[in-house]
Amino acid sequence: MGKKIKLRESIYILEESDDTYKIIFTGTRRVKTFKVDGLVKRIINELKVDQDIGLLVNKLSSDYENEKVMACLKSLEYEGIIRENDYETGERYSKQMLFIGELTNSQEETISLQKKIEDSTISVFGIGGIGTWIVNGLYQLGVGEIRITDPDIVQKSNLNRQLFFNERDIGRVKVDVIKEKIPDSNIRTFTKTVSEEENLEEIVIGADFLVNCADSPSVQTTTRIIDEYAQKYNIPYCIAGGYNMHLGMIGPIIIPGKTASFDDFMEYQRRNDVLSNLKVIKDIQQTGNLGPIAGAVANIQVMEIFKYLTGKGKLNLNRFAEIDFLNLEIEWRNFSRDPYSEEK
């Protein structure tokens, strides 16, 4: 059996005139206008269902030269209108591959990017309100190995915003529960804290990306530690521990040697914190939080990781966002690399 092709399932084809079609790529909202002749129309009509290329060329050979048919097929494939259909639509990642396919120029590239995700290793530090959703998102993407670390046990107060857990899990170690709840995943569990006293190298070495969701004693403190490992082993990471009441922080992604550094990020925060010079009379003890906010913030971070792994889309580099979920407003803040930094 030869190679099968088909019209891309996610495109919308409209006739503007007898010789002009508009193609809408629904995944990216791109719209392209094409001049069409009888051959193009015939091929589009034939490829509404799977077709073997050899059989299709043979079918059209009575009306068109084989070379012309093949050239037309190649052009339609290049434009992303048709694709090889050599994977089962019922498989786990078929919808994801359709999405990725909107961003690529060939089925080979689509398969390659999905394989890159499946071959990747990502380490997540802190499995709480953000971390549980991050782990779930990485699992759904098909990340090949997910390393998670958190010494905490499940508490009843976790259940309003953290995935995987229910009342029967109260008192159990979080990472053990997660591994049990998604047994078909390749999850490696650790119960280490993010602290200067812990050696985190077995969690870090070999990872393609690090995600810091650990917030004790503070996101700043834990990110400083993660940053040291990231710099040492040249591993990109994102700060994903930020949400407070109705506000959520997205990003940034820091790539050692390529983007502004964690020090640059903290310097920006220091310069723009209008309260930093005031005397503290009472510090924060705890704040409220909601599952919808934790889930939204975490899944946007997962989308950023997806873009990093695939190289598709605009990455959240040298900037971060603060989302006000009560008013659905988002404010982007840019920070830059210190030109006098020793990091090259």
Amino acid 332 reads: W
Contact 141, 114 (CB under 8 A): no
Mean pLDDT within 192-214: 97
**Does some domain include residue 206?**
yes
Of 74, 89, 104, the last residue of a domain is 89
Number of domains in the chain: 2
Positive or negative, the Cα torsion across 175, 180, 182, 187?
A: positive
Task: Give which of 55, 173, 48, 310 is closest to 165, Cα–Cα.
Answer: 173
Residue 110 pairs with which residues in a beta bridge?
none
| Same-domain pairing of 61 and 124 | no
| Same-domain pairing of 204 and 289 | yes
User: Is it the case that residue 255 has pLDDT exceeding 70?
Assistant: yes
What domain range is 291 assigned to? 119-334
pTM of the model: 0.88
More confident residue, 187 or 104: 187
Query: How many angstroms separate the Cα of 309 from the Cα of each of 14, 112, 212?
Result: 34, 11, 17
At 277 the pLDDT is 78
> What is the residue-averaged pLDDT of the chain?
91
pLDDT-above-90 percentage for the chain: 70
DSSP labels, 248-292: EEE--EE-TTTS--HHHHHHHHHHH-TTTTSPPSS--------HH
User: Is it the case that residue 217 has pLDDT exceeding 90?
Assistant: no
| Same-domain pairing of 162 and 282 | yes
Q: How far apart are CA 134 and CA 114, in angstroms?
A: 18
User: Is it the case that residue 122 has pLDDT exceeding 50?
Assistant: yes
**Does some domain include residue 298?**
yes
| Same-domain pairing of 78 and 132 | no
**Does some domain include residue 150?**
yes
Q: Which residue has the tokens 């269902």?
A: 49
Q: How far apart are CA 260 and CA 52, in angstroms?
A: 50
| Same-domain pairing of 198 and 157 | yes
**Does some domain include residue 100?**
no
Contact 173, 148 (CB under 8 A): no
Mean pLDDT within 314-324: 92
- Confidence tier at 178 by pLDDT (50, 70, 90): very high
| Same-domain pairing of 60 and 135 | no
| Same-domain pairing of 137 and 247 | yes
Of 89, 109, 129, the last residue of a domain is 89
User: Is it the case that residue 339 has pLDDT exceeding 80?
Assistant: no
Contact 85, 5 (CB under 8 A): yes
| Same-domain pairing of 236 and 324 | yes
Mean pLDDT within 141-166: 97
| Same-domain pairing of 281 and 138 | yes
Across 110-145, b (16+ Cβ under 10 Å) vs e yields bbebbeebeebbbbbbbbbbbbbbbbbbbbebbbbb
Task: Give which of 145, 123, 99 is closest to 229, Cα–Cα.
Answer: 123
| Same-domain pairing of 71 and 126 | no
At 252 the pLDDT is 92
**Does some domain include residue 104?**
no
Q: How many CB atoms lie within 10 A of CB 2?
A: 11
| Same-domain pairing of 125 and 68 | no
Of 89, 105, 138, the last residue of a domain is 89
**Does some domain include residue 243?**
yes
Long-range contacts of 17-25 (CB under 8 A, 24+ apart): 23/79, 23/81, 25/80, 25/102
**Does some domain include residue 109?**
no
| Same-domain pairing of 159 and 53 | no
CATH number at residue 214: 3.40.50.720
CATH number at residue 9: 3.90.930.60
Tens-digit pLDDT profile for residues 54-105: 999 999 999 999 999 999 999 998 888 998 765 554 588 988 988 898 888 7
**Does some domain include residue 264?**
yes
Specify the range with the lowest mean pLDDT, choosing from 104-118, 124-138, 197-211, 329-343: 329-343
pLDDT-above-70 percentage for the chain: 94
Q: How far apart are CA 171 and CA 158, in angstroms?
A: 11
Contact 269, 239 (CB under 8 A): no
Q: How far apart are CA 338 and CA 264, in angstroms?
A: 6
Tens-digit pLDDT profile for residues 2-47: 688 999 888 999 999 999 999 998 877 889 999 999 999 999 999 9
